[in-house]
Amino acid sequence: MTIRFDNRVAIVTGAGNGLGRRYALDLAARGAKVVVNDLGGARDGSGSSVSAAQAVVDEIVAAGGEAMANGASVTDADAIFAMVEEVKAKWGRIDILINNAGILRDKTFTKMTLDDFRMVLEVHLMGSVICTKAVWDLMREQAYGRILMTTSSTGLYGNFGQANYGAAKLGLVGLMKTLALEGAKYNVKVNTVAPLAATRMTEDLMPPEMLAKMGPETVSPASVYLVSEDAPTNVILNAGAGGFESANVTLTRGIHVGADAMTPETVAERIAEIRDRTGEVVPDTGGGQGAMALGGGR
């Protein structure tokens, strides 16, 4: 099986460097027309320049592909909606959106300003919301769409000094889970990747010998698959350094008690049973929690 994207149009945000650049190049090499979106700012979100995006476009064109550069900030709704209209006018459709743009403003929570917290949420979470909203109705109308969110091990499992980043990244998982349900009957599939990659976002977070094994090319196979025609939906794939894993939000079997035992003391006494992961399930929707509670645990 060879995965191709002939006659497909893809938008990749944050595509001027790192993971986004790799995604753009790989999609183009497999036949997609690619919009290379990148604000061209620093790692903390300051500054702007379209030169990074244009450099990636030049690479794609030199290799025989089709691409266009766009320097809109993902936090600027008017600019993003204008980008989508421009793409529609040029190529007639949009099939793929990879929400990859991001910034870092790492500090311990006690030292982190509310502005730093808010800005990271604006770029990662609201930026993905804005870009997705801009293409959502078009994808529904054409009965085809593939959208990829980008979470992180910080969002899934936590990491010291990244409260803002972790909150944004887990928020994207919740967004993906609801949109996967809402897009299902329109053939709009929504997935999430959790990259482990050596980029300018991670260059001072890990030792050089580890980063050497974690190039963007080790993540791209998962991301490219998750936006392909035969992709699943509502899936989180962790990828990097040659490893590919599936992350899941699970529910234990728990316990079920009568009215007379619904006390904090019961929870305290039986917390080990409640947390026992034997036979845990992965609910298809948020209603799974209610079904479990009403159906009875151990």
Tokens of 135: 């293409």
Q: What does the alpha-carbon distance between residue 31 and residue 218 come to, in Å, rounded to a whole number?
A: 20
Q: What's at 219, amino acid-wise? A: V
Whether pLDDT at 198 is above 80: no
pLDDT tens-digit series, residues 140-175: 999 999 999 999 999 999 999 999 999 999 999 999
Asked if residue 223 lies in contact with residue 23, where contact means CB atoms within 8 angstroms, the answer is: yes
Per-residue CA distances from 101 to 7, 32, 163, 234, 246 (Å): 24, 20, 18, 20, 22
Answer for the pair 70, 122: CB distance below 8 angstroms, yes or no.
no
Which amino acid is it at 293?
A
**How many CB atoms are located within 10 Å of the residue 253 CB?**
18
144 is catalytic: no
Q: Which of 23, 144, 165, 225 is catalytic?
A: 165
Q: Using 50, 70 and 90 to split pLDDT, how confident is the model at 50?
A: confident
**From 188-192, 258-262, 287-291, 293-297, the region with the lowest mean pLDDT:** 293-297
Q: What is the pLDDT of residues 84-135, one digit of tens each?
A: 999 999 999 999 999 999 999 999 999 999 999 999 999 999 999 999 999 9
Residue 206: which pLDDT band, with cuts at 50, 70 and 90? low
Distance CA 4, CA 152 (A): 27
Predicted pLDDT at 295: 76
Q: What is the DSSP string of the chain?
A: -----TT-EEEEETTTSHHHHHHHHHHHHTT-EEEEE-----TTS----SHHHHHHHHHHHHTT--EEEE---TT-HHHHHHHHHHHHHHHS---EEE--------B-TTT--HHHHHHHHIIIIIHHHHHHHHHHHHHHHHT-EEEEEE--HHHHH--TTBHHHHHHHHHHHHHHHHHHHHHGGGTEEEEEEEE---STTTTTTS-HHHHTT--GGGTHHHHHHHTSTT--SS-EEEEETTEEEEE---B-------GGG-SHHHHHHTHHHHH--TT-B--SSTHHHHHHHHH---
| Alpha-carbon gap, residue 292 to 267, rounded angstroms | 17
